[in-house]
Each structure stands twice: as structure tokens, then as C-alpha cells.
Amino acid sequence: MMRRRWVLAIGSILASAALAPALAFSAPEPPAKPAEGGDIVVPYEPTPDIVVQTMLRIANVGPADHVVDLGSGDGRIVITAVKDFGAQGLGVELDADLVKLSRANALAAGVADRAAFREEDIFKTDLSAATVVTMFLYRRINLQLRPSLLNLKPGTRIVSHFHDMGEWRPDKAELVKSSAHYGESWVRMWVVPAKADGAWLWREMRAGAMQQHRLVLGQDFQEIDGVLETESLRPIEIRDAKLSGAEIAFWLPIREGSHTVRWDYRGHVDGDRIVGQAESSDATGKRIVAWSATRQLR
């Protein structure tokens, strides 16, 4: 069952610790250290090239992207993102020798102008410019980073080699055969969801008149559901609700005379406002109405 965070009590709405790979990952995880101290919290182990390719492909990395690798090792993820996918990138690494090696590798690959490396603690890195964040860390480090990752711009993609994010389920996952990790590695990708939960004042023009309703949305990471409350009708549950980054979509069965008509809604969540369109097609043709919503309560 989805865990629900309801703002208003209205209506009835609403892995992998996997086998440890060889080398450093075969040892038990060291006890948690205070991350603020700038400690090496995960030992160095490179991601196999085939897995690097999968990580960047699964996130659909392209020239518009700014890829940040948290704990960048020898720089291979950032360098590949620049060289093979046309992105620009930043590697953040606490080990000074690995930072030096990464810069040399970037130079040798001819991408030093677009691949930067910084000696910095991953917990202190400003990720606000990132469109893609990559990681090959430990699960508990992923979980420590999770609150900050969830606060990044909606639509930012997070890709992890090997470890998951606890109950934040990935939007995509692939098992890759590789030379490391007993022959396989999980690659998982998450899209940072907009904060959509709360009570929204919904407006749409129908038959020349402005209609006002209330939409109450519940959210658990990228999973959402909700109820539309109107003055004249019983509350209607929204159907097949999806949230991908800032894009929300669902459909509603709306009574029109003696028929019930399916209306498909799409909208863009921008802070406390949603703006979108609803569409319906039947024998009489396609109809489109504009809708918007303003958050009243979270």
C-alpha cells in the first residue's frame, strides 16, 4: 500500500543490497561516519565501461545535459558523458590523486574543456545545475543523499550503479552483464518528481463558463493519486495518475447528459501552480479545454 501524506481528510483517496562485488565491495560496509567531516565514505572501485554506457543511455543523456558524478573515481562516467553523449560534466571526488588522474584522463580523451573535476565532499556539492546525477556508492549513502536529491529541480535524473534508494522505486532499471560483480550489475534511474501533494483549487472553462473545483492529491515519491471534488457531483477519483518530473497526467470519467465521457488531463507542475490541457475524443470529434490549478494547502 502506498504511504499517503494527506493534507486534508477529504474523501476516500487517496533492492538491492545485492551480492557484494569483488574488491572493495566484498567487505562489509564500514560503520557510518559523519558525512560532514569530508570522509571517504565508499572506497574506490571503477564502474565497468559497459555499465557506464548503460547508466548514461538509461538516463537519455544528451548535449543539453550537465552530468555530475558523485564520487567520480578516475573520471570515467563524466568523461564518457562528454565524449560519447555530448554532455558537459563535473566529477566530485575527495581523493586528490584520483582528481589528478581524472584531469589527466580528460585531457587524454580531448574533453578537458567540458569535463571538470573538483576535490570536494559529495555531501557539500551544489547540485542545482545538474540535470543528471550519477553515483556508484553504498546504499546507506544513497539514502543519506536522498532528501537532497528529492529537492533537486523536478525532472533531474538520478542514476545509480548497483545500489537502490530504499522505498523510492526507480522509474527504470536494467540488469547489465559485465565483467565485474559476479557477472552482473543493476543500473537504476529515478526522475525527481515535482511536489504535487496537497489541496488545489482547480479551474477550467466548460461551455463558456468558468468551473471551480477542488483537487486533492496524495503523493509518495513519483506515485500519486487523488480526488476531484465538485459542488454538483460526487467526488471523482482521478484514474491512472502519473507524475514524471513536473509532468502530471490522469483521466477522469465525466458525466455529460446521459453519457460518461473520458477526459485525458495533462499538466505541468510549477511550484504551487499547474497549467495544462484536457482532451476528449468521441464520434462528434476532439474537444480540448484549458485547465489550471493553484495549491491552497500542502
Residue ranges binding ligand SAM (CB under 6 A)? 39-42, 44-47, 69, 71-73, 76-77, 92-95, 98, 121-122, 136, 161
Determine the residue with CB nearest ligand SAM. Answer: 71
Q: Least distance to ligand SAM from the beta carbon of 165, Å?
A: 16
Our CB check for ligand SAM shows the closer of 123 and 265 to be 123
Where in 132-258 does DSSP place strands (E)?
132-135, 157-161, 172-177, 184-191, 198-206, 209-220, 223-229, 236-237, 239-244, 247-256
Burial 99-133 (b: 16+ CB within 10 A, else e): bebbbebbeebebbebbbbeebbbbebebeebbbb
Nearer to ligand SAM by C-beta: 134 or 222? Answer: 134
CB of 44 to ligand SAM, least distance (A): 4
Task: Considering the complex, state which of residue 93 and residue 225 has its C-beta at the smaller distance from ligand SAM.
Answer: 93
Q: What stretch of H or E contains 108?
A: helix 96-108
Q: How far is the CB of 126 from ligand SAM (least distance, A)?
A: 14
Record the cell numbers describing residue 84, joined without a space.
560519447
Considering beta carbons, is residue 77 or 228 the nearer one to ligand SAM? 77
Q: How far apart are CA 95 and CA 10, in angstroms?
A: 53
The vertex-118 CA angle with 117 and 123, nearest 5°, equals 125
Q: How many Å apart are CA 219 and CA 213, to the nearest integer?
A: 19
Q: What angle do CA 214, 216, 217 make, to 5 degrees?
A: 145
CB of 174 to ligand SAM, least distance (A): 16
Q: Give least dist CB 93 to ligand SAM, A.
A: 5
| Closer residue to ligand SAM (CB): 101 or 249 | 101
Report DSSP letters for 228-247, one per residue. EE-SSS--EE-EEEEEETTE
Name the minimum Å distance from CB 47 to ligand SAM: 3
Q: For ligand SAM, give the closer residue by CB, 48 or 226.
A: 48
Nearer to ligand SAM, 89 or 193 (CB): 89
CB of 85 to ligand SAM, least distance (A): 16
Distance CA 176, CA 231 (A): 53
Q: Are strands 172-177 and 157-161 parallel, antiparallel or unpaired?
A: unpaired
Of 36, 58, 44, nearest in space to 148 by CA:
36
